[in-house]
A and B are shown apart, each in its own frame.
Chain A
Amino acid sequence: MMRFILPFIVFIVLSGFLYVGLNLDPREVPSPLIGKAAPAFNLPQLHDPAKTFSPQDMKGKVWLLNVWASWCVSCKEEHPVLLQLSRQNIVPIYGLDYKDKRVDAEMTLSGAGNPYTVTVSDTDGRIGIDYGVYGVPETYVIDKQGIIQYKQIGPVTHRSLNETILPLVAKLEKQP
């Protein structure tokens, strides 16, 4: 009897590991920034480079920071989702235009619609490095204290919005 049970147990354990592995995404690297203060920056605004924007300005508000670029293909995928969210006025979306040309970015937004309250230009990608950006689009949920609470890697979908981001935003809104 033993000679069947032992291999069977090994098989079950191995299948368990492989099954869990099926649902893991190796491209999703857990961010060490979660639970930490959003890195400071002071960058020129896309539509009005004379003005700047800093995360410091958002103290006391829950907001989303969406890293995007006109050359990014998956950003086009999430664009309608962001537009819809911005129309609902639940949470302000701020854009970080990552390693992009100003003209291209402006053209993208004027063509496809602009979901961002403000977009800032990170032309050489340095702020992107501070935020641990390695693939656009990426979206950060930042709370009233300026702490990063969640990072979405890859495009925001209706599903990730309804299941993760919006419930989190609602919870953070209740906090002081």
Chain B
Amino acid sequence: MKRLIVLLLCLIPLFVYAGEAKDLAADPVLEKRMIGLAEKLRCLVCQNESLASSHAELAEDLRREVREQMSKGMTDQQIMDYLVARYGDFVLYQPPVKSYTVLLWFGPFALLLAGVGVLIFQLRKRRQSVPEVELSAEAQQRASTLLNNEKDN
């Protein structure tokens, strides 16, 4: 009896499925296209998840919306515009280049350039502060004596 119960308990996991967002459309091609687009979109409830991977209810509703619009024949760009009109540029994982995103897009390059500038400036300064001095004959003599002594040891 005990064995049977244990066996039955072991069978329970067979009925438990885990995985990505569950709702699947009848049309796998459309579903694939929907997931492809949803990966470029942000879920607004859990902000660091994409619309494709989020389990939030709003994400499910938005996926439904995207799916329906796709089956109506709207292009990806039209659907993105539809969502941006409601939720703002924030839904796009890749923000568009606008006046207020200039710093976001080009800030890192500006910092890199500034860094290279500072590096070049410092290297030049160092070269100037350590001038090459011609050795006098006396010093040359001393140096070679020292070096030769080293060799003899």
| Residues in A lying within 8 Å of B, measured CB to CB | 26-27, 29-33, 99, 124-126, 128-135
Pairwise interchain contact B84-A27, C-beta atoms closer than 8 A: no
**Cα(A99)–Cα(B65), bound, Å:** 15
Of chain A, the residue at the smallest CB distance from B85 is A32
**Cα(A99)–Cα(B64), bound, Å:** 14
**Cα(A99)–Cα(B59), bound, Å:** 13
Interface residue SS majority, chain A: loop
Pairwise interchain contact B44-A32, C-beta atoms closer than 8 A: no
| Residues in B lying within 8 Å of A, measured CB to CB | 44-45, 47, 57-58, 61-62, 65, 84-90
**Shortest Cβ distance from B86 into chain A, in angstroms?**
4
Pairwise interchain contact B57-A32, C-beta atoms closer than 8 A: no
Question: If A26-B47, A27-B47, A29-B44 touch, does A131 touch B58 (CB 8 Å cutoff)?
Answer: no
Pairwise interchain contact B61-A129, C-beta atoms closer than 8 A: yes
**Cα(A99)–Cα(B57), bound, Å:** 10
Query: Can you list 22 A-B contacts (CB < 8 A)?
Result: A27-B47, A29-B44, A29-B88, A29-B90, A30-B90, A31-B88, A32-B86, A32-B87, A32-B89, A33-B86, A99-B57, A99-B61, A125-B61, A126-B61, A126-B65, A129-B61, A129-B62, A129-B65, A130-B86, A131-B86, A133-B58, A134-B87
What are the 9 tightest A-B residue pairs by CB atom distance, in nearest-first order? A134-B44, A132-B86, A32-B88, A29-B90, A125-B61, A132-B87, A134-B58, A134-B45, A29-B88
Contact of B88 among A125, A129, A132 (CB under 8 A): A132
**Cα(A167)–Cα(B85), bound, Å:** 27
**Shortest Cβ distance from B91 into chain A, in angstroms?**
9
**Cα(A147)–Cα(B87), bound, Å:** 17
**Cα(A165)–Cα(B34), bound, Å:** 39
* Residues from chain B with Cβ under 8 Å of A128 in the complex: 61
**Cα(A29)–Cα(B86), bound, Å:** 11
